[in-house]
Amino acid sequence: MPDEMFFSNNEKSLIRGSRIAPRTATCRPCMVSLRDNPEVELPGVIMDINPHGMLIRLMETIPVGQRILIQMMRDDTYQRKLSTPHKGETRRVEGTPDGFFDHGVKLEVENIRKSNERPVHIPNRNSRPQRATHPSRMHTVDMTLDAAKRKRNR
């Protein structure tokens, strides 16, 4: 597997795979269509994926360098769409012993545009006008038990 490490031809040095990010194994149904001819849709299965590319297994071949749209599906009957289509380009095609064709696809990662940056004003709690504080109207009264007993006894 390309993600794993392997030995060079002279078996003296260890070489890492050339992927930008490791792929995550999955089994997600998808519909693949050509960007030039979106009416032609081919059912397939995404075998593994990462943010930069994916491996799609199809029953037919798509030429290398062809620009495609990949629509992930929720169900195996290819009726319910999962999200918006992803744009990609086929980079390699390999046959499998089962008669399927694995297509290596490089995804076109779109940059997220920032909106006009404006400073965000967060009001400070202390900046609110506060009510005028009046001196406390409560008074404390000191009473001792002895003083209360003396008043009663008189």
Higher pLDDT, 5 or 98: 98
Classify residue 87 by burial, with Cβ atoms within 10 Å: 0-12, 13-18, 19+.
middle
Q: pLDDT tens digits for 3-49?
A: 455 555 665 555 556 667 778 889 999 999 999 888 889 999 999 99
Structural domain contains residue 5: no
Higher pLDDT, 76 or 142: 76
Instruction: Measure the CA–CA gap between 40 and 35, rounded to whole angstroms.
Output: 9
The partner residues of 101 in beta bridges, in order of sequence, read 58, 95
Domain assignment of residue 30, given as a range: 21-107
Residue 147, pLDDT above cutoff 50: yes
Instruction: Measure the CA–CA gap between 136 and 64, rounded to whole angstroms.
Output: 84
Structural domain contains residue 69: yes
Total domains in the chain come to 1
- Mean pLDDT on 119-129: 69
Residue 2, pLDDT above cutoff 50: no
Residue 77, pLDDT above cutoff 60: yes
Structural domain contains residue 54: yes
Structural domain contains residue 126: no
CATH at 77: 2.40.10.220
Structural domain contains residue 141: no
Structural domain contains residue 11: no
